[in-house]
């Protein structure tokens, strides 16, 4: 009896997780654009110097990480729709890269929150920047969780194959 070669065990929920990854990617990118705009526009207007270091904005985390998250989510959706060994390997690789990207992002946002916690200012841009950084931290945690689940599922699918 001959079994088809493209018979992979892929969970149906993988499409939902891929969609969550795509949405998280868009939110992280939007938070990054808004945060960077807020910092630089208000620094020019109010002449704020080095009191609030733009670690997130200058590192470009929100740009390159959201690209990785988008690719991970897209590949997860494609894998669920058309399973193949090649797509499985790419999905697993991109999700592992997304895990590393989220770890870098969590480190950067944590450092930024620690550094800016000593700033006691009533200016709204400091408070807004702090809130945006906290949201960025939370959505990075969500991406870490989603990428970890997808990586585990693709690893299991590779083992069952």
pLDDT digits (tens, 9 = 90+) for 7-66: 456 777 888 999 999 999 999 999 988 888 877 777 666 665 555 557 887 888 999 999
Whether residue 147 contacts residue 68, with contact meaning beta carbons closer than 8 Å, is answered with no
Whether residue 125 contacts residue 35, with contact meaning beta carbons closer than 8 Å, is answered with no
Confidence of residue 157 (pLDDT cuts 50, 70, 90): confident
Q: Distance of CA 50 to CAs 29, 47, 110, 116, Å?
A: 24, 10, 18, 11
Q: What are the domain boundaries of the chain? A: 20-49+66-160
User: What is the tens place of the pLDDT at every residue in 94-133?
Assistant: 999 999 999 999 999 999 888 877 766 656 667 777 888 8
Q: Distance of CA 130 to CAs 20, 42, 83, 87, 141, Å?
A: 25, 14, 42, 39, 17
Q: Distance of CA 66 to CAs 18, 139, 143, Å?
A: 13, 11, 10
pLDDT at 129: 77
pLDDT at 120: 66
Q: Quote the tokens at residue 161.
A: 């194959």
- Say yes or no to pLDDT of 1 above 70: no
C-alpha 36/C-alpha 67 separation (Å) is 17
Confidence of residue 139 (pLDDT cuts 50, 70, 90): very high
| Average of per-residue pLDDT across 85-94 | 93
Residue with tokens 């939110």: 27
């Amino acid at each position: 009896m001959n079994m088809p070669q493209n018979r992979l065990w892929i969970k149906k929920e993988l499409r939902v997780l891929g969609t969550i990854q795509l949405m998280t990617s868009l939110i992280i990118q939007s938070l990054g654009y808004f945060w960077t705009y807020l910092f630089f526009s208000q620094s020019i207007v109010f002449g704020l110097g080095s009191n609030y270091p733009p670690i997130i904005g200058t590192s470009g985390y929100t740009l390159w990480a959201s690209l990785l998250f988008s690719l991970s989510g897209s590949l997860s959706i494609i894998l669920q729709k058309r399973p193949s060994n090649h797509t499985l390997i790419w999905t697993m690789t991109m999700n592992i890269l997304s895990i590393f990207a989220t770890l870098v992002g969590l480190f950067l946002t944590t450092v930024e929150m620690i550094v800016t916690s000593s700033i006691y200012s009533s200016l709204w841009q400091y408070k807004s920047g702090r809130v945006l950084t906290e949201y960025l931290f939370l959505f990075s945690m969500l991406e870490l969780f989603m990428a970890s689940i997808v990586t585990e599922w693709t690893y299991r699918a590779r083992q069952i194959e």
